Amino acid sequence: MDTDGSNRPEPLPSSAQLSWEGHPRTLIAGVSGLLGHALTRVFPGAFSFWFDVTDLGACRAALGSIRPEVVINAAAYTTVDQAEAEPEAAHAVNEQGAKNLALACRDIGAGLVHLSTDYVFDGLADRPYLESDPPRPLSVYGQSKLAGERAVRKILPKALIVRASWLFGPGKTNFVKKMLDRARAGEPLRVVNDQRGCPTFSLDLAAAIRSLIQGGHQGLFHVAGSGEATWFDLTRAALEAAGLDPARVEPIKATGLDLPARRPAYSVLDCRRYEAATGRTMPPWSESLAAYVRGLV
């Protein structure tokens, strides 16, 4: 079982570490995050140490010492509500940080895989979002992530940009873990039932990123767990998988929480481009959730 908590690994700016055998020499930024943790498991031998992506000099130093062929940017400012109060901090990481990594990649001829989000959409669609659908973020977080995508594309038109959604997985606390902890503590569970998206297992996403890299794919891809759910559905399924009573979960409207950031009511991602490119489909979120929860209990 994985521990939860975000232990920052010691910096390892050494090119002595073995490369990901048989695959491109890979550097992961944002290694202490939820996705970063999954990437370190799916990309064994990849270089992964913390450096500040908001500092162009630090990015250049990290890439200059490792000389990766591929950099995966899983570093991000992800506290969606807090971002409303500190847009500069969100843009520093999600826009400037993305730009810095793209510039540092361009310097050494490395490819960049950049992560983005379903929150670039306004949620007004009545069918799953395609990569070609116009983004219109509702929050500072979404705006900063979209600005990051655009900065990356401008500097590295061939970058691989992956929009993911609603992550859960080992290594760091996340929505599912929080709901299970609250359930076990006997706390009330009032959960939003009017926002619909695609819960995604971080290890499934990391494996999908590996497939895209192995296939040499470029451009924008939506990658999310198969199926869709509301946060209420996801919570009920998590409790069920943990052997707890799902009837304890009470559905509420998002307005009932009065959170600072607006979120899309509907942000289901259409992953057909990913499927066509790789010949793979993402596992159903409900199956991956059950496997994840089994590992937690």
Ligand X SMILES: NC(=O)c1ccc[n+]([C@@H]2O[C@H](COP(=O)([O-])OP(=O)(O)OC[C@H]3O[C@@H](n4cnc5c(N)ncnc54)[C@H](OP(=O)(O)O)[C@@H]3O)[C@@H](O)[C@H]2O)c1
Interacting residue with ligand X among 25, 26, 28, 33 (CB under 6 A): 33
Q: Which stretch binds ligand X (CB under 6 A): 29-37, 238-246, 262-270, 273-281?
A: 29-37
Minimum distance from residue 22 beta carbon to ligand X (Å): 26
294: its two tokens: 């089994």
The residue ranges of DSSP E strands in the chain, in sequence order, are 26-29, 47-48, 70-73, 111-117, 160-164, 167-168, 189-192, 196-197, 200-201, 219-222, 229-230, 249-252
Interacting residue with ligand X among 146, 167, 191, 271 (CB under 6 A): 167
| Look-up of token digits 């490395």 | 110
Provide the H-helix boundaries in 93-230. 98-108, 140-155, 175-184, 202-214
Residues near 250 by beta carbon (within 8 Å), at least 6 away in sequence: 188, 189, 190, 191
**Burial label, 31 (beta-carbon count in 10 A; 0-12, 13-18, 19+):** buried
First to last CA, the chain: 9
Residue placing its CB nearer to ligand X in the complex, 8 or 127: 8
Q: Which residues, 112 to 131, sit near ligand X by CB under 6 A?
A: 115, 117-118
Residue placing its CB nearer to ligand X in the complex, 87 or 248: 87
Minimum distance from residue 50 beta carbon to ligand X (Å): 6
Number of residues that bind ligand X (CB under 6 A): 28
Residue 288 engages ligand X in binding (rule: CB under 6 A): no
Residue 53 engages ligand X in binding (rule: CB under 6 A): yes
Q: Which residues, 59 to 78, sit near ligand X by CB under 6 A?
A: 74-78
Q: How many CA atoms lie within 13 A of 12 on its CB side?
A: 16
Residue 93 engages ligand X in binding (rule: CB under 6 A): yes
Minimum distance from residue 284 beta carbon to ligand X (Å): 18
- Beta strand 229-230 with 167-168 is unpaired
Residue 189 engages ligand X in binding (rule: CB under 6 A): no
Minimum distance from residue 165 beta carbon to ligand X (Å): 5
Interacting residue with ligand X among 40, 48, 96, 165 (CB under 6 A): 165
**DSSP string covering 20-41:** -TTS--EEEESTTSHHHHHHHH
* Largest pairwise CA distance in the chain: 55
Question: Is 141 an active-site residue?
Answer: yes
Interacting residue with ligand X among 97, 123, 137, 264 (CB under 6 A): 97
Residue placing its CB nearer to ligand X in the complex, 20 or 121: 121
Sign for the CA dihedral angle at 29, 218, 208, 238 comes to positive
Interacting residue with ligand X among 66, 164, 206, 268 (CB under 6 A): 164
Q: Which of 77, 129, 141, 292 is catalytic?
A: 141
CA distances from 145 to 93, 102, 126, 156 (A): 9, 14, 23, 16
Binding region for ligand X (CB under 6 A): 6, 8, 30, 32-36, 50, 52-54, 74-78, 93, 97, 115, 117-118, 145, 164-167, 172
Q: Active-site positions?
A: 141
